[in-house]
């Protein structure tokens, strides 16, 4: 969720830069503080399976323009379809995130007054730790179930499991995941699906992975992997 929120914050920062007339990597010209540009915040309210919403956290009259830029940027992002996808493994049904723009009051040790404000100061910045997702190092292909060969069934199963810091799947976490919005199998086909799931489960412990990393530290990660069964392969 943190990484998704950081990406969304970058989008909002880009929208604000455009509102201020920034081009490319240049820094925008900032109008005087008397124009209502001062530090301000909004609180994002994220709910599972609900539209993005927010509340104003700052009510200072001095920050009215900054607040409005944040709100306009949020509306633009929302209308363009930008969103934060709720991870399926995240517990709970709601979370709050705070977006904050900080306008510095000191430049080179000198207090900035309401009359003037130098141009070319950062408007928005985020810090993101480098992340690397887990990847397959040596995969073991599952064996096609013997009892299903006569029917020459084909199919794909999606498996979910945790890869530990040694690059191995944690046995107790391995399970199949049925895709959302996909109808369940008709009676008579569930046994074939179960055979495919069992074959995939048997192959996963033999595979090795490069573990996920955050800032160079190995961490456990929940992953999903698709296994395709085709007798003609």
- State whether 117 and 27 are in the same domain: yes
Nearest partner of 46 among 71, 16, 78, judged by Cα: 78
pLDDT in tens, 176-217: 998 877 888 887 788 888 999 999 999 999 999 999 988 778
115 and 158 fall within a common domain? no
> How far is 133 from 127, CA to CA, in rounded Å?
18
Spell out the SS3 assignment of 79-118. HCCCCCCCCCCCCCCEEEEEEEECCCCEECCEECCCCCCC
Same domain for 93 and 147? no
- 79 and 136 part of one domain: no
Q: For residues 118 and 107, is the Cβ–Cβ distance under 8 A?
A: yes
Determine the Cα–Cα distance for residues 178 and 23; give it in Å rounded to an integer. 45
Structural domains of the chain, count: 2
Q: Domain check: are 213 and 149 in the same one?
A: yes
Per-residue confidence band for 31, with pLDDT thresholds at 50, 70 and 90: low
User: Strands across the sheet with 53-56, in order?
Assistant: 53-56, 40-47, 94-101
Mark which of 111, 128, 145 sits at the end of a domain: 128
122/137 same-domain check = no
Residue 128 vs residue 68, higher pLDDT? 68
166 with 223, same domain? yes
pTM, 2 dp: 0.46
Instruction: Please indicate, yes or no, whether residues 118 and 136 belong to a single structural domain of this protein.
Output: no
Indicate if 177 and 86 belong to the same structural domain.
no
The tokens for 22 are: 């920034």
Residues 12, 121: one domain?
yes
Closest residue by Cα to residue 50 from 1, 83, 90, 99: 83
Q: Which domain holds residue 110?
A: 2-128
**176 and 63 together in one domain:** no
Domain final residue, candidates 128, 151, 183 = 128
Pairwise pLDDT comparison (191 vs 87), residue with the higher score: 191
Instruction: Please tell me the distance from the alpha carbon of residue 164 to that of residue 113, in angstroms, as a whole number.
Output: 54
What's the farthest any 2 CA atoms get from each other in the chain?
83
Residues 59 and 118 grouped into a single domain:
yes
- Residue 4 DSSP symbol: H
Q: What CATH number does the domain containing 215 carry?
A: 3.30.2420.10
Final residue belonging to a domain, choices 84, 104, 128: 128
Question: Of 40-44, 214-218, 228-232, where does mean pLDDT reach its minimum?
Answer: 228-232
- As to burial, measured by CB atoms within 10 angstroms (0-12 exposed, 13-18 middle, 19+ buried), residue 142 is buried
What whole-number distance in Å separates Cα of residue 224 and Cα of residue 230?
A: 20
């Amino acid at each position: 969720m943190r990484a998704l929120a950081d990406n969304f914050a970058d989008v909002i920062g880009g929208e604000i830069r455009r509102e201020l007339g920034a081009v490319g990597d240049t820094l925008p010209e900032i109008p005087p503080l008397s124009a209502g540009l001062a530090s301000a915040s909004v609180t994002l309210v994220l709910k599972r399976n609900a539209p993005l919403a927010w509340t104003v956290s700052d009510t200072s009259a001095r920050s009215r323009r900054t607040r409005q830029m944040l709100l306009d940027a949020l509306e633009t992002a929302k209308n363009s379809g930008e969103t934060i996808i709720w991870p399926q493994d995240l517990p709970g049904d709601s979370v709050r995130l705070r977006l904050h723009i900080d306008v510095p009051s000191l430049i080179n040790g000198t207090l900035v007054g309401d009359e003037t404000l130098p141009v070319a100061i950062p408007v928005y910045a985020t810090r993101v730790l480098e992340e690397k997702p887990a990847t397959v190092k040596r995969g073991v292909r599952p064996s096609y179930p013997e009892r299903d060969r006569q029917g020459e069934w084909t199919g794909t199963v999606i498996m979910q499991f945790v890869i530990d810091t040694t690059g191995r799947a944690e046995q107790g976490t391995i399970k199949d995941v049925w895709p959302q919005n996909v109808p369940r199998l008709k009676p008579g086909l569930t046994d074939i699906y179960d055979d495919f799931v069992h074959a995939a489960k048997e192959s996963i412990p033999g595979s090795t992975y490069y573990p996920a990393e955050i800032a160079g530290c190995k961490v456990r990660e929940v992953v999903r992997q698709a296994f395709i069964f085709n007798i003609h392969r």
